[in-house]
Amino acid sequence: MSGFVFSEKPIGIERGEGAYLYADDGTEYLDFGASYAVTPVGHSHPDVVDAVKSQAEDLMYVQASYPVAERTELYEKLATVSPPGLDNVWLCNSGTEANEAAMKFARNATGRSKIVATRRGFHGRTFGALSMTWKDKYKKPFEPLLDDIEFVSYGDGDELAEVVDDETAAVFLEPIQGEGGIHPADTAYLQQARELTEEAGAALVFDEIQTGMGRTGTLWACEHAGVDPDILTTAKGVASGLPLGATVCADWIADADPEHGSTFSGGPVVCAAANATLDLLVEEDIPAHAAEMGDYLVDEIEATDLPVRDVRGRGLMVGIEVKRGANRLLRDLALEEQVLALPAGRTVLRLLPPLTIDESHADEFVASLEAVLE
């Protein structure tokens, strides 16, 4: 008997260190996907490993109604580093759970039901989050999903203005669409979303599950636009690969006292990993390094004569639109060049490497890309 959801690749991974993964046959792979951005400080960073070991020896788990030092510390750290006014933290196990909580919190606080989401957007695979996700291939087998979800074109402020009204509970936006093909939002669009939701009394929710934790050159992608949401969701890299998500809210959302819970909310071991990860990101100014390395990587790609239609993104969240199928390119990179990356649609190669990569890693990637495209 075997698993049936994931289609397993013909590479068995045994261990990881920094920007590299190592197969069970000893082959070294440069990891430019970081398993969907979950290792911002690199694979098995010693500080994170030590924090996990120490906490596991003391206490593996106790429910969130009993205060635990590591969980309390993470509440405080997330509230401190989140955009201004977001002081209330809910911990869960994944990005989709964080978005489910955000939907519930917004509906509870506003007394409304309509959710506005965007075409090409992706917010998760559970029923609520899936209802806000655009692609039919993710949704069709499970319909009917939640109703009262209205989709608008990403980046179209006029269309957004037409649908945000006094029946709207929340507008969900990714500051940069990830699964949808690495599409950054204009500053003016995010600012308009902020104005429209404030006027309507609706919650503005930024899904920073993929864009957060320093990936775009600041700790949160919304900082580039100077726009603060009412709710921010994050996951993926927050605990260096251990399962943790967070929904961070403004007072007016939390003060409505939503009824919500989770058995595994804020486990001490994953909180220890998250605290160590956040310490590294902030104290070593890793987001600034990601900005610098992202610029270098994009410049090096654009300096080639490769058959590339577009290179877009911000920091170390980069999409390369190619003229051939992305999945075939990914296969060739992995099997011929020992470089791992990700797709974002049929023609976009998505790069989400550890934020600690240096120029030599970027050069190695570009050389491999040249080899398979030429």
Q: Annotated binding site for substrate, which residues? A: 125, 262
Check whether residue 276 and residue 298 sit in a common domain.
no
CATH value at residue 180: 3.40.640.10
**Residue 36: phi, psi to the nearest 5?**
65, 45
331: CB partners within 8 A, 6+ apart: none
pLDDT per residue as tens digits for the range 171-214 = 999 999 999 999 999 999 999 999 999 999 999 999 999 999 99
- Which range of residues forms the domain containing residue 360? 13-45+285-373
- Whether 26 maps to a domain, the answer reads yes
Do 218 and 308 reside in the same domain of the chain? no
Residue 132: closest CA among 107, 157, 165, 158: 107
Per-residue pLDDT for 323 more than 90? no
328 within domain boundaries? yes
**What pLDDT is recorded for position 2?**
63
Across residues 216-243, what is the average pLDDT? 98
- Cα dihedral value 193, 194, 198, 200, nearest 10: 0
Total-model pTM: 0.97
Looking at the structure, tell me whether residues 148 and 241 fall in a common domain: yes
Binding residue numbers for pyridoxal 5'-phosphate = 95-96, 122, 207-210, 263
Residues 26 and 84 in one domain: no
Shared domain for 223 and 260, answered yes or no, is yes
CB contact burial 117-143 (16+ within 10 A = b; e otherwise): bbebbbbbeeebbbbbbbeeeebeeee
Task: Give the residue ranges of the annotated binding site.
Answer: 95-96, 122, 125, 207-210, 262-263
| Distance between CA atoms of residues 318 and 312, nearest Å | 6
Residues 262 and 276 reside in one and the same domain: yes
Do the domain assignments include residue 247? yes
- Residues 124, 264, single domain; the answer is yes
Q: What percent of the chain has pLDDT over 70?
A: 99
- 41 and 86 belong to one structural domain: no
Residue 169: pLDDT band by 50, 70, 90 thresholds? Answer: very high
Query: Does residue 4 fall inside a structural domain?
Result: no
